[in-house]
Chain A
């Protein structure tokens, strides 16, 4: 009986994995993302709040000049360990449009924690126009939306290693992956060569980070490598703020189901024991 269930489990996993697979056979990215160790990986993974705060700092000082974070509100920053007052002060740095007031007029006021993150542009058209026609993608879900194909048979092993950090690995690799184009590569006007880019040889965004660009106060190294890791972790959080809660809930649910399955197994054995088979 037990072996049959193991077989079912094997067939079930095989059935889902084989087909899911790597779903596109693109030639890009040229280089596979470099896998990093993340605090939020694994069954009991948790975000490193210090890292997320540094990531927010990189986002605020560098990325937010072009990239919006539209699905998040300032209040969500409580997840990063900030107090209500700190969040209020952060939000108040931004002016948002509100209204109409009693006179029927729209007006500007400082943002409140309940407001969504204010983006750098009024709309997508303006954003594209300001960036050579290339729209800087919104950050809210980017760590989930960029997941390069893993290929056969890696995608099967991924189930058992619980590998779900494809997105942050990709972002980190992209940010640290800029280099000079090889001689045989023609890079178009206004594009920047990066072998980790998911959709071509080069992308419109120039290398956004450089050493010492952002002033860290907690003594972490002020390098492109560290900035990239921190902002990737921040984007992983932005794309999945419920991650910790989800994993903890899953741990309890699966533990309960395992115990329940054990009890059912012995119940079944007892019930069936009066039959010879």
Chain B
């Protein structure tokens, strides 16, 4: 895909530098002349948005860390003094907190886009797997970040989530104590979470570089799912994709700013405005909204799994819930091999398309269920919804490849683009040269 470089330094310094460290050449090849399919739609802009979000979170985070005191008696107050007494402190803190939520909005759209257009299929398995690793790191980072303001939900959320690890047989208790730095969530926990919360974003940045590298080796997918076949199929990244990504980013920023400036508390939980208190348990402990689907899956498993007709329990409900929850993410690693269809894009897969949208609706519904208590009508709904979640990966994806009759695909991207508008004789400028 990457072909030979078209970078041509003109200035004396450019030539001197290029012979020593061709970093400008790397940038030019990656973000200027890099060929992208000409038919990418708006859903393909979220990769760029996510990269900017990561940078934005790191910059705001670094500045907030200058004002934050990672001590259990001072953390809560230090966050609020930042909001009240530091110039632009309120905006900075909201930008970072709302930014975390918007980061997840973007990543979920990005993941669903990948699932719809079959972006995980050969030869992009590694690209996909790196993406899932980034997602996992994001979840760890966001969770630890939520603990730092040291409100009630911070402390109790940390208590609940670290408690998962005790479900691991034999070593669970020890693992949890190492995570917490003690027997309960306390000052040691806050200190190590602060340290890790500062570390993980840079690990994400590292994997993002690999993710983009892998992308630039295989090239992007596109809504037709047909690989790039000729120079007519692609356009150079700059100016075409650059200006489009910029527009998408600014539209995304408008939505984000609406929350930052007008509804900064909407995406958070009111209880986090109460200082952490280990003696008072909140009525309902809930994680941040972006974890709610997984929280529903965790609580859906309320039964022991054992050998039938005996008293022997192989997996108790607690371990079962934790396994289901981690399994719901781990299964994403296997998606490239679970999907047996040879057709990439759901546009040409009439049955998969229906199941895909069912999956989207079910995932959102799981999120709603995650905010409900695990009792009454909600519990069977959680179980049903969890079953549908896994069935999509374990049943629908492998079986559809055999039973589904795909629609005819266009011969090339150019055919698809021009055929659609009926302008078959137009000649295009040859791009990406």
Contacts and interface: CB of A to CB of B under 8 A. Distances in A.
A12 B255 contact: yes
Interface stretch (B57-65, B209-217, B422-430): B422-430
B254 interface: yes
A8 B261 CA distance: 21
B425 to A, nearest CB: 10
A18 B364 contact: yes
Contact of B428 (A1, A12, A152, A276): A276
A253 B421 CA distance: 38
A8 B256 CA distance: 13
Interface stretch (B66-74, B197-205, B267-275): B267-275
B266 A141 contact: no
Nearest to B365: A18
A9 B271 contact: no
Interface stretch (A105-113, A209-217, A244-252): A244-252
A19 B367 contact: yes
A145 B240 contact: no
A242 interface: yes
B160 interface: no
Contacts of B39: 277
A137 B271 CA distance: 13
Given A4-B41, A246-B261, A249-B91, A19 B254 contact: no
Contacts of B289: 16, 19-21, 23
B158 to A, nearest CB: 17
A169 to B, nearest CB: 13
Contact of B250 (A43, A158, A164, A260): A260
Interface string A5-27: 10111011111101111111110
Interface in B368-420: 368, 370-373, 378, 417-418
- Binding site of A, secondary structure by majority: helix, strand, loop or mixed? helix
B42 A1 contact: yes
A242 B284 CA distance: 30
B347 interface: no
Interface in A249-277: 249-251, 253-254, 257-258, 260-261, 264-265, 267-268, 271-272, 274-277
Interface size bucket, A side?
35 or more
A206 interface: no
A241 interface: yes
B298 interface: no
A22 B371 CA distance: 7
B248 interface: yes
B257 A145 contact: no
Interface stretch (B76-84, B136-144, B165-173): B76-84
Contacts of A137: 274
Nearest to A243: B90
Which of A147, A167, A258 neighbours the largest number of chain B CB atoms within 10 Å of its CB? A147
Nearest to B39: A277
Given A26-B283, A241-B84, A254-B254, A15 B368 contact: no
B168 to A, nearest CB: 28
Nearest to A71: B80
Interface string A89-105: 00000000000000000
B24 interface: no
Contact of B283 (A199, A239, A250, A274): A199
A256 B44 CA distance: 25
A23 B286 contact: yes
Nearest to B375: A25
B262 A9 contact: no
Contacts of A268: 243-244, 247
A88 B80 CA distance: 24
B264 to A, nearest CB: 8
B344 interface: no
Nearest to A8: B42
A254 B250 CA distance: 10
A25 B284 contact: yes
Nearest to A72: B84
Given A12-B105, A250-B260, A268-B247, A23 B269 contact: yes
A5 B77 contact: no
B38 A24 contact: no
Contacts of B246: 264
A162 B102 CA distance: 18
A251 B284 CA distance: 35
Contacts of B109: 8, 11-12, 15
A16 B243 CA distance: 27
Nearest to B431: A275
A267 B243 contact: yes
Contacts of A264: 243, 246-247, 250
Contact of B42 (A5, A199, A245): A5
Contact of A277 (B38, B243, B258, B264): B38
A249 B264 CA distance: 13
A275 B273 contact: no
Contacts of B373: 24-25
Contacts of B77: 71
Interface in B182-240: 235, 239-240
A277 B290 contact: no
Contact of A261 (B80, B251, B260, B261): B251
Interface in B340-366: 364-365
A185 B336 CA distance: 59
A21 B371 contact: yes
A11 B378 CA distance: 24
B56 interface: no
Given A249-B261, A264-B247, A271-B240, A19 B80 contact: no
Given A268-B244, A276-B423, 20 more contacts: A5-B42, A5-B248, A12-B109, A14-B364, A16-B289, A19-B364, A19-B368, A24-B373, A145-B270, A239-B273, A245-B90, A246-B94, A246-B264, A249-B261, A264-B246, A264-B247, A274-B429, A275-B38, A275-B428, A277-B39
21 contacts: A8-B251, A14-B364, A15-B109, A18-B364, A20-B289, A25-B372, A145-B273, A152-B368, A164-B265, A199-B283, A247-B261, A253-B257, A253-B261, A254-B261, A264-B243, A264-B250, A271-B240, A272-B240, A274-B429, A275-B431, A276-B426
